[in-house]
Amino acid sequence: MNEPVAIHRREVAQRILMANRQGGWEGTHTDFKTELGSTSRDLAKLFKHILAFANTPRRTDAYLIFGVKEDKASGRFDHIGVAVDGFPQAERIYELLHHYTRLRDIFIDAAYEVDGKRTPYICIPLQDEGPQTVLHPFPGGIDVQEVFWRRGSSSARATDRDILRMRSDWERWCLDCRYEKTATSLINTLSKRFPNHKVLLDLGPCVRLIYDSAINDELGMHVAPVLVHAYWGFEPVEPAAIERLNQDKVQPTFQKTIIGARFSLNTLALAQSSSVRCVYLDEIYFVDDPYAKLCREFLRQLDIDQSSQDLSSIIDLDYRASGSGFTPEVRKSILSFLEDQLNGIGRSAVLVHGDFGCGKTTTAKQLVAELCEEYLRGNFEVPKVLYLDVSNMDIRSRRDECIEGQLNRLRLSREDVAHLVASVQQDQISVVFDGVDEMARPYTEAGRHDTIEVLRGIANRRVALYFVRTSYFPKRDEMIAQFALLADLDFSKSQKRIVVTEILHLRQEQVTEYLKARLGPEGATSIQGSLHKFRLESFLKDPLIVSLVAKLVEKEGIESLESLPRKEGKAHFLSSLIEQLVGREQKKRSRHSALFHDFLLFRRVLRTVAFNMTCRGNSSILQNQLKGFVERALDSEQDATEAVNEFRTMAWIHCSPDGTLRFRHEALTLVCAADHVCEAFELRDNLAIGDWQPTAPHAPEVCQYAGEVIEAPALLGATAMLSTELQFNVHQLVTKVLDASKDRRDIGAVPEDQLDERGLASICRGIATAPLSTLQAVKILLNSLGEKRARQITLALLWLLLRKDTTETSDAVLTLVRPIVRKDWNFCDELREIKKDPANFLDLMLLKDLHISIADFLDSLNYEMLFKKIYEIGDLETPTRQYADRTLRGMEGERNRRQASHSKQAQRRR
């Protein structure tokens, strides 16, 4: 490189100092790291950052500085240094750069120290060609086609729109400053900026400018001449320019200044020692009007939001456009398409619709952000736009109040806000409306009509973008007709100026790109493999589900997916996704009342609809069927219309063009149906599951999922239902779910105060009815009850199981007997102790409900066959076998005692 190492080191030290004092210093020019490992994955991350800096518009060299740690709380950076093994050899990095990239003039200084602390750094100068990518697949996870760039303070994959711009005009893309290509254009620019100049002359290598500058010093206000040498082109101004300026003796001047697109570090250092001022040409064009301030504030807030929401990777989604002049084919880069639409003339409506969580808001904000960045870089030809979130808008406000309310959330002065509001009213700025379907209005036809009227009052006579959830309207024809009211008539075509665009599901490569950005190559591969293996590949096309899965893995580790092979793993994984979806929906709907004021009713309707669809074997449901479910959930006097519309617009529902409704994913539908079954079990509601169809296509999966997610109260409720007369299909459902839960080890207990005597009696009868299926219920009872009540239940259950077949009762009997096994003790001793104080040791109410005679209950000989069967079990553990043996010997002694007593009584009678 041309610049000496000393200048680089001085620059690095200055950036560390500024980051420590000011904080928030990472961006398109600097990135701080604590250390750099030597593994393939570590080096892949390094190359990702280097390539990102190489592809990012900027005006100066970028630096990756190591040995600096960020303090998240304060936002400042602490210089901690790098250990001996905290940075690989520079030769190895150079070798990899040469083999895998075309990057030029990368400089690595691994020996630099600041304040005695090792501080390696890598300098990435501006590149003449681009976009820069790896030439071969890089070990650790970089593919040849991947293009990175800096987004705020992080490195991310570039969108399709940005990649297209890089490839079409790299020179225009890469320059984060303005420059003039010829002396003539430079003179024209300077003449506008300095209209009262005295001299403006082309000297060949530069342009000479002399103008009078106002100076305020201790002598007061006066005017002094300033000599300027200005350079065209984009090449850095070299130190020779300082000598040329100092030798220019055209007239005495107060100040000497050089203007150029860029300056070498040597030039900046020499200028400082020579009292020459260096001014970037970009400052001549510096944009600081109210719209530019809006752009900076929007970008600042967006960077904060994206950092908190893990949105470092933005996908430029595919779309399908309809309307005049468009064919309904799948196209790439919705960002490019929407930018083209904003360049249209007149009042047009561009409607962007898609499912909940498909990326509408992210797309809207990213579009506005990229247009703002273009404007700040001096491209005044891009459309001016204002992002307007109308989800929380007060519909009673005037148009200017709505816009003003949005602008007041940003750090803008009153004067700037007033200027921007006037610009919108004067049709100088287009409006991007987001959250249209979440406006605080009822989800009825009248409410939708009012929404359109409000939007009509806010929009101006420019092209406007409207982002809306597809299911907001019952049918797409109604949606298009309503938004057409916001557009003018195109007389040449005799139709409204409306374009309808649908955001589509993710492509496989987009999913891989997103997951790799968040979780790395290994995490992305693991997620995709797990979901494919367990037939959940439909999740990989859904942006919302993919983001929720990634969030789950980030929080709980990849082990959360590796648990899927376990019997209960898949159902719990799906249940966690359901809870996240419901939570997101509840948060969005928190301002609404009616059906979902506490969201419990929503869950009930959701589960009921899923259960009914599963029983019928249907993948969709008609709106009148949905209305019937909602009406049954509500009080009969309530109008269900608004509630049906609210449910129809939920994240769960996908509305087809013909108005039919289906759930977002089949697997989630089945888990919701399983939740309905479990809820019915807990409430012991036979009617709620009376429509169960054992032969339905997905009936086995629902039973399996229910067995995997069922909790203790529902399991005991299902057991109690077996004690009653059930329909055959319901009885079959109960036993199938109980069988599916038999091997679980994670089912907890039930609070003892929730188990009353009558309920316990039903549970005991249910256990006796199907001991093979209810073994889990036996364990729950023993874990839930105190020692005394557990003992009472144990004896009652043993009595009920006396006359059952051994193959059915052995596991249940052993589960009951093992807790009462004691050394030098047997079951006969247990009964003798009870006989001494039956009122204390027996639950007389329970025995009465079970129709058990106390005399028979306490007769040890009635249990002889039971303990013989226990003793004959082949693989019985020694303590239990010894307990059974002592019990049988005790019973034999009791029989001999009774026979002896009977003989004595007979002799007395003789």
Contact in structure between 384 and 361 (CB atoms under 8 Å): no
Contact in structure between 201 and 229 (CB atoms under 8 Å): no
Structural domain boundaries of the chain?
Answer: 5-157, 183-284, 290-503, 508-565, 583-748, 754-910
| pLDDT on residue 636 | 54
| pLDDT on residue 435 | 86
258: part of which helix (H) or strand (E)? strand 255-260
Number of helices and strands in the chain (H, E): 37, 26
Q: Are strands 148-151 and 154-157 parallel, antiparallel or unpaired?
A: antiparallel
Contact in structure between 431 and 388 (CB atoms under 8 Å): yes
- Is the domain covering 183-284 a CATH 3.40.1350.10 domain? yes
| pLDDT on residue 329 | 86
Contact in structure between 58 and 64 (CB atoms under 8 Å): no
Amino acid at 590: S
Nearest alpha-carbon partner for 568 in 746, 778, 773: 746
Q: Cα dist. 516→41, 134, 171, 319, 892 in Å? A: 12, 16, 29, 23, 73
For residue 495, the cross-strand partners are 490
| pLDDT on residue 594 | 47
Contact in structure between 323 and 521 (CB atoms under 8 Å): no
| pLDDT on residue 22 | 66
CATH of 5-157, one of 3.40.50.1970, 3.40.190.10, 3.40.50.12280, 3.30.950.30: 3.30.950.30
**Dihedral sign, CA of 128, 129, 130, 133?**
negative
Residues in the chain: 910
The Cα 326–Cα 334 span in angstroms is 14
Tokens 């790291």 -> residue: 33
Nearest alpha-carbon partner for 626 in 597, 600, 592, 652: 652
Tokens 């250990």 -> residue: 83
The Cα 201–Cα 281 span in angstroms is 17
* pTM, 2 dp: 0.70
Nearest alpha-carbon partner for 248 in 237, 236, 256, 238: 256
* Torsion, Cα of 595, 598, 600, 605 (10° steps): 20
* Torsion, Cα of 585, 591, 592, 598 (10° steps): 70
The Cα 794–Cα 841 span in angstroms is 12
The stretches of 68-219 forming alpha helices (DSSP H) are 90-100, 160-168, 170-174, 183-193
Task: Give per-residue burial for 674-683: e unless 16+ CB within 10 Å, then b.
Answer: bbbbbbbbbe
Give the pLDDT means over successive 10-residue stretches in the chain (910 positions). Answer: 73 84 74 90 92 87 92 80 91 94 94 92 91 91 87 81 86 70 87 87 94 71 87 88 93 89 86 90 75 90 71 77 72 92 91 87 92 81 92 66 84 91 93 83 74 87 92 83 89 83 86 78 81 83 83 75 62 84 75 55 83 87 79 64 72 70 82 94 93 93 93 95 93 95 89 86 91 91 89 88 74 86 88 85 84 87 88 87 91 89 79
The Cα 697–Cα 712 span in angstroms is 28
The Cα 407–Cα 405 span in angstroms is 6
The Cα 425–Cα 516 span in angstroms is 44
CATH class of 290-503: alpha beta
* Torsion, Cα of 503, 506, 509, 511 (10° steps): 130
Both tokens assigned to 743: 């091997």
Q: Are strands 349-354 and 464-469 parallel, antiparallel or unpaired?
A: parallel
836: part of which helix (H) or strand (E)? helix 827-836
The Cα 462–Cα 424 span in angstroms is 9
> Are 183-284 and 290-503 the same fold in CATH?
no
Q: If 0-12 CB within 10 Å is exposed, 13-18 middle and 19+ buried, where does residue 778 land?
A: buried
654: part of which helix (H) or strand (E)? strand 653-655
The Cα 160–Cα 352 span in angstroms is 18
The Cα 814–Cα 284 span in angstroms is 89
Nearest alpha-carbon partner for 204 in 191, 190, 186: 186
